[in-house]
Structures are given as C-alpha cells and as structure tokens.
Amino acid sequence: MIQVCIEVAAGSCERHRYNEQTLEYLGTRRASRPYPYPYGFILGTRAADGASVDCYIITNASLPAGTLVECEPIGLLEQDEDGEVDHKVLAALPGQHIELGQGLLQELRDFIYAVFTQGHVQVGRMLPRQAALQHIQACREA
C-alpha cells in the first residue's frame, strides 16, 4: 500500500500545491484542461527530479484535493520531461480491480500532451504492477 496526497480532483483544472514534507498548502496553479483522474504524490518518496513520485489514482470515486488516500500500485506510466525521467505511478483504491489497457494509456497520453505545452514531454509504455513497485522502492526516502 502507498499513501497519496491528492493535488487535483478528477474533472478539475485546479492543481493545489503542497509542501511534500509538511503537507502545508502552498497555492494553486491552473491546468489547460481537467484531469481525468485524481492526481497527487506518494508520501515518503523522492524521484529523480527531486520531487515526490507522481501518481494517478484510476477511479471514479470523488477524491478532493488535500485528501490523503491509501492505494495499491497497479502500473507505471513511462514519462520523460525535458530529458529527465518523470514516471507516473498508476494506483487503485483497495478492492477495486482496474484493467490496464490501450484505452487508458491513450486517455492519459492525450491528457498529458494537451497539458504540457512548455518544454518537451515524452510518454512511453504502461508497465505492470511490478515495475511500479520497483520504481517506488527505488525512490523511497531513507
């Protein structure tokens, strides 16, 4: 299980920023289109870009910004931003079965390419649960 701080509710364009250590609210940025799923960061991790590992929670459940949620990693979306690895963990709420398929991959790709107009973003493959677990483990803070 992982614990995720929700920064963006599904269907919202408002990304609330939080201090990743203290969870203090820092402000809000606006995206050009609504997020398809709740989005946030995994507590206790540090990715290659210096920030916590990002996470999409693949669910229809309403998860408001600022909520801490226990989830299960189900996959990993390969992503690079300006030549730097910035993979996204895909997670599900406990007890929910989510199918990782081409439709989900295309939905996330379409969203990411529409939102990231600055810099260069490359979205790769959707990898299985084991890849997500390995990525999270490699990014765990000591």
Residue 47, pLDDT > 80, answer yes
DSSP 10: T
User: In 3-state terms, what secondary structure has residue 3?
Assistant: strand
What's the fold here for domain 2-138? Answer: Inorganic Pyrophosphatase (3.90.80)
User: What is the tens place of the pLDDT at every residue in 64-88?
Assistant: 999 999 999 999 999 998 888 899 9
How do residues 97-116 score in pLDDT, each as one tens digit? 998 999 999 999 999 999 88
Those residues whose C-beta lies under 8 Å from the C-beta of residue 134, and which sit 6 or more positions away, are none
Residue 48 has a pLDDT of: 84
Please check whether residue 45 is in contact with residue 142, taking contact to mean a CB–CB distance below 8 angstroms.
no
Calpha distance 130→68 (Å, rounded): 23
Q: Give the mean pLDDT of 111-123.
A: 86
Average pLDDT of the residues in 92-99 = 93
53-67 core/surface letters (b: 16 or more CB in 10 A; e: else): bbbbbbbeeebebee
Per residue in 2-41, pLDDT (tens digit) is: 999 999 999 999 999 999 999 999 999 999 999 999 999 9
State the amino acid at position 140 in one-letter form: R
The SS3 call for residue 59 is coil
Q: Average per-residue pLDDT in the chain?
A: 93
- Given a cut of 80, is residue 141 above it in pLDDT? no
Predicted confidence at residue 83, as pLDDT, reads 83
Residue 50's pLDDT band, with cuts at 50, 70 and 90, is confident
Spell out the SS3 assignment of 65-127. CCCEEEEEEEEEEEEEECCEECCEEEEECCCCCCCCCHHHHHHHHHHHHHHCCCCCEEEEEEE
pTM > 0.85: yes
3-class DSSP string for 27-53: EEEECCCCCCCCEEEECCECCCCCCCC
Statement: residue 142 has pLDDT above 70: no
pLDDT at 123 (0 to 100): 92
